[in-house]
Every structure is written in structure tokens, then in C-alpha cells.
């Protein structure tokens, strides 16, 4: 299996922590149903006013499809300065360093 890592980072005015969990729980459930998604780690940095996530997809096509969808969703929320990057995962080396693949 060739997995693809997708990373999003963008300016975010909050809420953070428990407030983020409460406000974005519905979105989290929606994202959990994305085709090809294996897992997502939610990221937040209140001091720098940034948020995002690191996603693992089963394949590049699923990651690219989600990337386009999520960029459009964020833009719809008025978020600009979105940074999205895709990476192929080296499964052999990642297994040595205990990656949860």
C-alpha cells in the first residue's frame, strides 16, 4: 500500500483547546467519513494563531480529492494563507521508527 500524508496549516483565530473540540466536533465526524482517510491528527498553536492537521490517506488520489475539498471549505470560512503539502510515505523506514501505519 502506498500511503500519502497530507499536511494543512493556516491562520486561525480560535477557539483553541476544549473550545475547538466543542466547536468542530461535527466537522471531525464529517472528516472521519472521507474516502481513503486512515487517520487525522488535529494541530493547533494558540500562541501563533494557527491550526491545521496531518492526514494519512490510503492513496494519492484520495488525498488530492480531499485537499481540493478542504481548501474550498476553508476559503468558504474566509480563511486565507492556507498551506497544504502532500508527501509520499516511506513505509519501510517509517516502520523502523514505529509510525502507526
Q: What is the pTM of this model?
A: 0.91
Evaluate whether residue 12 is within a structural domain. Answer: yes
| Residue 101 in domain | no
Q: What is the CATH number of the domain that holds 19?
A: 3.30.70.100
Q: Do residues 54 and 67 lie in contact, with contact meaning Cβ atoms separated by under 8 Å?
A: no
Looking at the structure of the chain, the number of domains it has is 1
Residue 38 lies in a domain: yes
| Residue 39 domain boundaries | 4-96
Quote the Cα angle for 16-46-55, to 5°. Answer: 70
Residue 21 burial (CB count, 10 A): 12
12-60 pLDDT, tens digit per residue, is 999 999 999 999 999 999 999 999 999 999 999 999 999 999 999 999 9
Question: What is the pLDDT at residue 97?
Answer: 96
Amino acid at each position: 500500500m502506498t500511503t500519502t500524508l497530507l499536511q494543512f496549516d493556516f491562520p486561525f483565530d480560535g477557539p483553541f483547546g476544549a473550545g475547538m473540540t466543542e466547536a468542530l466536533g461535527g466537522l471531525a465526524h464529517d472528516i472521519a467519513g472521507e474516502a481513503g482517510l486512515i487517520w487525522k491528527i488535529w494541530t493547533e498553536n494558540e500562541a501563533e494563531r494557527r491550526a491545521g492537521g496531518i492526514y494519512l490517506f490510503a492513496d494519492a488520489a484520495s488525498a488530492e480529492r480531499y485537499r481540493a475539498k478542504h481548501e474550498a471549505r476553508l476559503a468558504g470560512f474566509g480563511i486565507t494563507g492556507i498551506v497544504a503539502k502532500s508527501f509520499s510515505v516511506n513505509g519501510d523506514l517509517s516502520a523502523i521508527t514505529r509510525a502507526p501505519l
